[in-house]
């Protein structure tokens, strides 16, 4: 029952969206001049810039990124491909990415692969179809098809969280196998020799697998082998870690150390020990991976490797932003961090 009521038969009232043309009319210039002014693209007199900006402000112009991306051949979307969001680690990476994008005008689009290579391929393909400003994908081990896709695109691609392999374009992360090796060194330095391993989904989580390899390699170098290798397909969770630890310690009560594929599992191990009177770390040392915040609050001390997750996300964005800039100074293609072993 607004004032529109009167115009029941006026034909030209859709006007659902304020467009650049409206701004141009309001400012008394052409669409092009308005476009240039709004983008600060130069070639516009100071007075007209002001006029256009004011007009846009007045009529509440927002701009249509779809149109602009279609025309400009590049969007301000950044595709982010992670294996899982339920995992805190990737959630924090996302957080870092979101933080890094703050103020850049870019928008993250995310896709979840659930550690499935086919799904990953589809997600990547789909994201590329958006002409994104960049792509951030987890890990270096994509399927051949996916890799080809990424190699042939003009879009800057940043692979994160890994360093062991050949990056397609840029790469921000750390060496997973080195991380595993370092942890092994640390545990050996603590005098541990009866060592077991507990992990999830190694066939899918190639990064955990690389850590395990590095870990075993170092053991071997010291004439040791894993006494137990409990590997499950159930999802990585604290409860899983607790259950597997119970099993492992039942089978091999002589273990004096357990390396887990991540902190969640290790925390589960800690809980099992606490609940069953196993002294940590005196009787058995537990070691995880990631350095999640809550680890240091646990009543018992467990070892872990602290990884710069937020920073990795932020850095990946920074690379894309820098590459997108016209005067793109050549960027470092490989940015390596080192996890810090904490015990």
Partner DNA sequence: CATGATATCGATACCGGTATCGATACCAAA
Partner DNA sequence: TTTGGTATCGATACCGGTATCGATATCATG
Alpha-helical segments (H) within 278-326? 309-324
d(CA 187, CA 206): 23
Residue in 7, 13, 32, 102 binding DNA, rule: CB under 7 A: 32
User: Least distance to DNA from the beta carbon of 38, Å?
Assistant: 6
User: Least distance to its own copies from the beta carbon of 323, Å?
Assistant: 18
Of 236, 13, 211, 18, the residue nearest 115 (C-alpha) = 236
Question: Which positions from 9 to 28 touch DNA by CB under 7 A, shown as an x/- string?
Answer: -------xx-xxx-------
Stretch that binds DNA, among 45-53, 259-267, 271-279, 314-322 (CB under 7 A): 45-53
User: Least distance to its own copies from the beta carbon of 3, Å?
Assistant: 15
Residue in 104, 110, 283, 342 binding its own copies, rule: CB under 8 A: 110
Question: Which positions from 37 to 76 touch its own copies by CB under 8 A, shown as an x/- string?
Answer: -------------------------xxxxxx-xx----x-
Residue in 59, 108, 141, 331 binding its own copies, rule: CB under 8 A: 108
d(CA 112, CA 128): 15
Q: Which is nearer to DNA, 11 or 66 (CB)?
A: 66
Residue in 31, 193, 247, 310 binding DNA, rule: CB under 7 A: 31
C-alpha distance from residue 127 to each of 76, 109, 234 (Å): 12, 8, 29
DSSP SS3 for 104: coil
Q: Which is nearer to its own copies, 45 or 294 (CB)?
A: 294
Under the binding rule (CB under 7 A), the answer on residue 243 touching DNA is no
Q: Write out the two tokens for 292.
A: 């999640």
Residue in 24, 137, 227, 267 binding its own copies, rule: CB under 8 A: 267
Q: Which is nearer to DNA, 49 or 295 (CB)?
A: 49
DSSP SS3 for 324: helix
What are the φ/ψ torsions at residue 41 (nearest 5 degrees)?
Answer: -90, 5
Specify whether the CB–CB gap between 300 and 268 falls below 8 A.
Answer: no
Mode of pairing for the β-strands spanning 340-342 and 334-336 = unpaired
Of 6, 339, 2, the residue nearest 182 (C-alpha) = 339
Size of the site for its own copies (CB under 8 A): 54
Under the binding rule (CB under 7 A), the answer on residue 71 touching DNA is yes
Q: Which is nearer to DNA, 63 or 165 (CB)?
A: 63
Under the binding rule (CB under 8 A), the answer on residue 1 touching its own copies is no
Q: Which runs of E-coded beta strand occur in the chain?
A: 77-82, 107-112, 134-138, 157-160, 170-173, 195-200, 228-232, 257-260, 285-287, 304-306, 334-336, 340-342
Residue ranges that bind its own copies, judged by CB under 8 A: 16, 62-67, 69-70, 75, 77, 84-88, 90-92, 94-95, 98-99, 107-112, 125-131, 154, 237-239, 241-242, 264, 267-268, 271, 274-275, 293-294, 296-299
């Amino acid at each position: 029952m607004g004032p529109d009521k009167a115009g029941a038969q006026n034909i030209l009232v859709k006007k659902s969206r304020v467009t650049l043309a409206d701004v141009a009319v309001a400012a008394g210039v052409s669409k092009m001049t308005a476009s240039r002014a709004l983008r600060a693209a130069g070639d516009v007199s100071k007075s007209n810039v002001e006029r256009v900006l004011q007009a846009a402000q007045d009529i509440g112009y927002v701009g249509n990124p779809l149109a602009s991306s279609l025309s400009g051949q590049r969007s301000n979307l950044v595709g982010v491909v992670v294996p899982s969001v339920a995992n805190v680690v990737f959630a924090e990476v996302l957080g870092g990415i979101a933080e890094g994008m703050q103020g850049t005008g870019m928008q993250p689009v995310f896709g979840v692969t659930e550690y499935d290579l086919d799904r990953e391929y589809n997600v990547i393909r789909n994201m590329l179809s958006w002409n994104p400003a960049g792509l951030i994908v987890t890990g270096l081990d994509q399927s051949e098809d996916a890799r080809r896709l990424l190699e042939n695109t003009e879009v800057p691609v940043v692979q994160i969280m890994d360093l062991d392999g050949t990056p397609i374009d840029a790469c921000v992360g750390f060496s997973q196998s080195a991380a595993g090796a370092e942890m092994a060194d640390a545990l050996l330095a603590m005098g541990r020799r009866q060592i077991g391993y507990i992990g999830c989904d190694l066939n899918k989580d190639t990064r955990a697998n690389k850590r395990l390899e590095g870990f075993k390699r170092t053991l071997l170098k010291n004439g040791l082998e894993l006494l137990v290798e409990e590997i499950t397909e159930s999802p990585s969770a604290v409860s899983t870690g607790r259950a597997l630890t119970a099993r492992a310690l039942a089978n091999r009560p002589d273990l004096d150390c357990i390396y887990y594929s991540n902190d969640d599992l290790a925390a589960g191990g800690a809980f099992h020990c606490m609940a069953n009177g196993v002294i940590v770390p005196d009787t058995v040392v537990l070691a995880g991976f990631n350095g999640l915040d809550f680890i240091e609050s646990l009543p018992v001390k467990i070892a872990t490797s602290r990884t710069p997750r937020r920073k990795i996300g932020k850095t990946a964005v920074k690379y894309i932003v820098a590459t997108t800039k016209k005067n793109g100074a050549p960027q470092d293609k490989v940015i390596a961090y080192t996890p810090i072993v904490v015990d």
